[in-house]
Amino acid sequence: MSLIEAMGNGTRLEILRELSREPKYVSELTDAIGMDGKTAAHHLSTLEEAELVDWYMRGNRKYYQLTAAVELQLAPPPERTFVLQADPISETDYSSSQP
């Protein structure tokens, strides 16, 4: 799935916004966004496929975290700029963000 397809859904954008604050487990995401677990699993799978999120286990909880910093730049004519890119987050950033 392309980056633009992954980001082209309001629910996935809400998930990314929540994960930009801190890693969360699925129940925290479903409560924060107001969706059921099956819907969350579908959207998280899509975001994993796009390499925007990853997960790790802590005890019996599966935490999700961002794996890329996403930037969108838009400009009207005459520049006509449209840039959507995702840059991987380094391993040191991962370890400092995990609870």
Indicate which CATH number applies to the domain containing 58.
Answer: 1.10.10.10
Domain that holds residue 16: 3-97
Going by pLDDT thresholds of 50, 70 and 90, the confidence category of residue 28 is very high
Predicted confidence (pLDDT) per residue in 53-95, tens digit: 999 999 999 999 999 998 888 888 998 888 888 899 876 555 5
Q: Tell me the C-alpha distance between 21 and 44, whole Å.
A: 16
Helices (H) and strands (E) in the chain, counts: 5, 5
What is the reported pTM? 0.81
Q: How many domains, the chain?
A: 1
Going by pLDDT thresholds of 50, 70 and 90, the confidence category of residue 40 is very high
